[in-house]
Amino acid sequence: EAQVTQNPRYLITVTGKKLTVTCSQNMNHEYMSWYRQDPGLGLRQIYYSMNVEVTDKGDVPEGYKVSRKEKRNFPLILESPSPNQTSLYFCASSLSIGLPTEAFFGQGTRLTVV
């Protein structure tokens, strides 16, 4: 089954404790992206990757890091989480950036930073 898998689904952590949210897709998609969803603000793009070893900033990259060492994985790293990073996070992938098609989204990760 074609899917994007995020882990964990829920996470409560403390300020400053490094964490990683994993994202994996099994569709051999070139393009992957991370979003955060906050009430009244829609989805805002954090980082995206057009292919292996190619990443770029979205609209709200501060406080986040990503890497794309393999095509299927695109982890989101919070080196020193802060309460303003409490949010619902989505990872997405799509086949090709040249011709945007349907983006497959993960199930979401609810992160709370206290």
Partner 1 sequence: AQTVTQSQPEMSVQEAETVTLSCTYDTSENNYYLFWYKQPPSRQMILVIRQEAYKQQNATENRFSVNFQKAAKSFSLKISDSQLGDTAMYFCAFMKPNAGKSTFGDGTTLTVKP
Residues that bind partner 1 (CB under 8 A): 31, 33, 35, 40-45, 48-50, 56, 58-59, 88, 90, 92, 97-103, 105, 107-108
As measured in angstroms, the least distance from the Cβ of 70 to partner 1 is: 18
Cα–Cα distance, 27 to 29 (Å, whole number): 5
d(CA 94, CA 112): 28
* Rounded least distance, CB 14 to partner 1, Å: 24
In the bound complex, what is the minimum distance in angstroms from residue 29's beta carbon to partner 1?
13
| Chain CA centroid to CA 93, Å | 10
In 3-state terms the chain splits into helix, strand, coil percentages (rounded to 5) of: 5, 50, 45
CB-wise, 60 or 78, nearer to partner 1? 60
